A and B are shown apart, each in its own frame.
Chain A
Amino acid sequence: MDVKNIWLILSGKGGVGKSSTSSQVALTLASSGYKVGLLDIDITGPSIPHFFNLKSAKIHQSSAGWVPVYTDSSKNLGLMSIGFLQPDNTKSIVWRGPKKTAMIRQFLSDVVWGELDYLIIDTPPGTSDEHISIATELQSYQGNLGAILVTTPQEVAAADVRKELNFCKTVNFPILGVIENMSGYICPHCHDCTNIFSKGGGESLAKMYDVKFLGSVPLDPKLITVVEGGNFVTDYKTTDVANVYHKLLQNLVELK
């Protein structure tokens, strides 16, 4: 695999915005000219095809392996998800651990990414089969490996993310930093900010574990509208959070 950097997007908790973060990180890097791959290893609940509004796209099999789905003709951003392999993506994938492991192994060995600056890996919540497998598979990886942990501000989420941080330590994943997502919501009527899921959980978590706090990202209804009905790839830059991510990622990488 000719990949310079691999970033894992992790969180112990579900629904904190791992896929949303992965998509935005990948898109921000790609629009800065980097060659980026986005791999979704959430086998039973893949969300990446939905974010890019590519639910009916299919993976092509070439002689070299699986060709990722590209978001535009620049081919700066390639996507791979089990959602692209299913004939009918309203049907469930009911798999126990060993099958998920086999699939992840295939994702890492059989996809023709080409040369990549960044491979972003979106993960399911927890510290189970998928996580153990990806840690095992990446053991021999020679490039720069790092994990970005996503949490929401409230204690119920931070408690699970602490477990994930300890998991990263156990398997020797270097931690790039913590992102606090869904941090506040600006009322469209009065522009007052409400901390729906409380505030500051991500920052105090980062402090406690002595890892970098990359920043907090507010709930942006515009982003949800763009994802749910619009064109994420072209319209993302019109959202407020696009700037937030641009700034946040400059903690880690040079951006245009």
Chain B
Amino acid sequence: MQTEPLQTPLHCPGTESEQAGRDSACEGCPNQEICQSRPKGPDPDIPLITEALKDIRHKVLILSGKGGVGKSTFTSLLAALIADAEVDKQFGMIDIDFCGPSLARIAGVPNEQCFGRDAKWTPVYAESNLGVMSISHMLPTTDQPVIWRGDKKTGLIKQFLTNVDWGEEGLDMLFVDTPPGTSDEHISLAQYLKPSGGYGALIVTTPQEVALQDVRKQIDFCQKAGIPIFGIVENMAGFVCPSCGGKSDIFVAGTGGGRALAEETGVPFLGSVPLDPRVGMCADSGKDFLTDYSASPATLAIKNVAVNLLTEMGIELPEYLEEPESAIEPAQQTVAV
């Protein structure tokens, strides 16, 4: 993939080129030494990864340039919803945010350890048909920092893609939760998934411009890297006060929010999900928000996003998701927060 560096010479051959660091244009570039010592050409492990991924039919990357917009929460809720709707199919989630892994906690399996079998890791199952693979399942204590540079992170991504035993039937869908930014993890993932196909990105944003500007960059990255985009989801849109029921926008969509960004970039808009404090509470305690608050506006909004996503992916909707429902919230579900 060609990158657009700022400080590099005008005729930079690109970091992936055979000539990287050796070209005449590289003279005087501050990165010459780094480029020279890097291994050249495409990653030799790519055929192995492609072979390992052949039993995974669909791969959905959950991306956002911005941190804290709800990538892990959304990954977990979406996967649980789809897995619940298709009980006879197998689903998986992997968390490649190694320095700040949140997926295991949100999926309700924060302290489980994963075990190896036949030199492969067995994922931790959050549901009977939904496996989770995270670095949290490999650390001796959850407070231990993972102080890794890009190359080490790339190495573990490769292992997460090739070395997990998802069972004999493989997976119908694999959800990949990513860290914010457009760096090592994202570049590697794009390179590893490209040859096997059947993948695309779901982009999560919040309504305010400070998030949108990073998400715009993520979309630009996807276009440069050739990652198909299934659509944009706007999270934390609008807040309903539990005391008075008044609606207010905490994260103000000053520039039109996710919908305007979708129009501006020509990407499908999959829906908005309101900010419900109970989503975060459930994430902290590992409770199942979708079941406990099945009639809340947030649950219905997530269902709506799932339907739109599957439609964009060209997947037939499971019956469970086809029934239209209305947002009527029983009184006992309105808890004080």
Residues of A bordering B, CB below 8 Å: 12-16, 19, 42-45, 47, 50-51, 82, 85-86, 89-100, 102-103, 106, 124-129, 131-132, 152, 154-157, 159-160, 162-167, 170, 185, 187-190, 192, 194-198, 219, 221, 224-225, 227-229
Known pairs A44-B65, A93-B217, A195-B337; A221 contacts B179 (CB<8 A): no
Asked if B149 and A128 make an inter-chain contact with CB atoms under 8 angstroms apart, the answer reads: yes
Determine the chain B residues whose CB is within 8 A of the CB of A188 once the complex forms. 246, 248
Asked if A14 and B180 make an inter-chain contact with CB atoms under 8 angstroms apart, the answer reads: yes
Determine the chain B residues whose CB is within 8 A of the CB of A163 once the complex forms. 99-100, 143-146
Determine the chain A residues whose CB is within 8 A of the CB of B179 once the complex forms. 14, 125-126
Asked if B181 and A44 make an inter-chain contact with CB atoms under 8 angstroms apart, the answer reads: yes
Mind listing 17 A-B residue pairs with CB under 8 Å?
A13-B102, A15-B66, A15-B68, A15-B180, A44-B65, A92-B182, A94-B183, A96-B184, A99-B34, A156-B106, A160-B102, A170-B145, A187-B241, A192-B243, A196-B280, A228-B208, A228-B255
Closest 10 CB pairs of A and B: A14-B67, A15-B68, A189-B246, A97-B150, A126-B99, A190-B244, A228-B254, A92-B217, A192-B243, A187-B241
- The listed residue (B30, B67, B150, B242) touching A13 by CB distance below 8 A is B67
CA distance A219 to B251 in the complex (A): 10
A225: shortest Cβ distance to chain B, in Å?
6
Asked if B187 and A94 make an inter-chain contact with CB atoms under 8 angstroms apart, the answer reads: yes
Main secondary structure of the interface of B (DSSP, over half): loop
Determine the chain A residues whose CB is within 8 A of the CB of B295 once the complex forms. none
Known pairs A92-B217, A196-B239; A187 contacts B100 (CB<8 A): no
Determine the chain A residues whose CB is within 8 A of the CB of B150 once the complex forms. 96-98, 128-129
Which A-chain residue is minimally distant from B33 (CB atoms)?
A98
CA distance A125 to B101 in the complex (A): 11
- The listed residue (B7, B106, B187) touching A106 by CB distance below 8 A is B7
Asked if B244 and A102 make an inter-chain contact with CB atoms under 8 angstroms apart, the answer reads: no
Determine the chain B residues whose CB is within 8 A of the CB of A19 once the complex forms. 210
Known pairs A44-B217, A125-B100; A94 contacts B1 (CB<8 A): yes
Binds A, one of B118-126, B218-226, B296-304: B218-226
CA distance A31 to B209 in the complex (A): 26
Which A-chain residue is minimally distant from B70 (CB atoms)?
A15
B contact residues, range: 35 or more
Within 8 A of A (CB), among B195-226: 206, 208-211, 213-214, 216-218, 220-221, 224-225
Residues of B bordering A, CB below 8 Å: 1, 3-7, 15, 30-31, 34, 65-69, 72, 97, 99-100, 102, 105-106, 142-151, 153, 179-184, 186-187, 206, 208-211, 213-214, 216-218, 220-221, 224-225, 239, 241-244, 246, 248-252, 254-255, 275, 277, 280-281, 283-285, 337
Which B-chain residue is minimally distant from A98 (CB atoms)?
B34
- The listed residue (A96, A98, A103) touching B7 by CB distance below 8 A is A103
CA distance A219 to B249 in the complex (A): 11
Which B-chain residue is minimally distant from A190 (CB atoms)?
B244
Which B-chain residue is minimally distant from A105 (CB atoms)?
B30
CA distance A42 to B150 in the complex (A): 15
- The listed residue (B145, B153, B281) touching A164 by CB distance below 8 A is B145
Asked if A194 and B241 make an inter-chain contact with CB atoms under 8 angstroms apart, the answer reads: yes
Asked if B68 and A16 make an inter-chain contact with CB atoms under 8 angstroms apart, the answer reads: yes
Asked if B181 and A45 make an inter-chain contact with CB atoms under 8 angstroms apart, the answer reads: yes
Asked if B106 and A131 make an inter-chain contact with CB atoms under 8 angstroms apart, the answer reads: no
Which B-chain residue is minimally distant from A51 (CB atoms)?
B210
CA distance A50 to B153 in the complex (A): 30
